[in-house]
Amino acid sequence: DAGVTQSPTHLIKTRGQQVTLRCSPKSGHDTVSWYQQALGQGPQFIFQYYEEEERQRGNFPDRFSGHQFPNYSSELNVNALLLGDSALYLCASSLAGFLSTDTQYFGPGTRLTVL
């Protein structure tokens, strides 16, 4: 049973560029959440996708956008990259509805460095 997978593992970009990160949820899960974790900090919620729609959003600018595909996989896009966007980006999957255990399972993360 595959867990949550993310790609790429590491990424280096320069200021002003755009980046796309990818996530495949744990088998059987239908909900994907994205988090940003700066060095030495706890993860911060970016947004959550369910049924291909953004269900909830954290305090992040519109430069951060996402998408969920029919197979429940998801992408996180960040435009006009800033130095402060350098962080570990974590994807978490969960199951919605009456079968939900409320537990979110995390992938290994994508380390983004903006130069």
Partner 1 sequence: SQQGEEDPQALSIQEGENATMNCSYKTSINNLQWYRQNSGRGLVHLILIRSNEREKHSGRLRVTLDTSKKSSSLLITASRAADTASYFCATSQGAQKLVFGQGTRLTINP
Q: Which is nearer to partner 1, 19 or 110 (CB)?
A: 110
For the CB of residue 48, give the shortest distance to partner 1 in the complex, in Å: 6
- The number of C-alpha atoms within 13 Å of 7 and in the hemisphere containing its C-beta is 2
Question: Taking CB under 8 A as the rule, does residue 56 contact partner 1?
Answer: yes
Residue 44: strand pairing partners: 36
Question: Taking CB under 8 A as the rule, does residue 60 contact partner 1?
Answer: no
Question: Taking CB under 8 A as the rule, does residue 49 contact partner 1?
Answer: no
Cis peptide before 25 (omega within 30 of 0): no
Q: How many CB atoms lie within 10 A of CB 51?
A: 11
Query: Which of 91, 94, 84, 95 has its CA nearest to residue 107?
Result: 91
Part in contact with partner 1 (CB under 8 A); list of ranges 16-24, 62-70, 74-82, 96-104: 96-104
Q: Which is nearer to partner 1, 13 or 111 (CB)?
A: 111
Binding partner 1 (rule: CB under 8 A), the pick from 19, 25, 32, 33 is 33
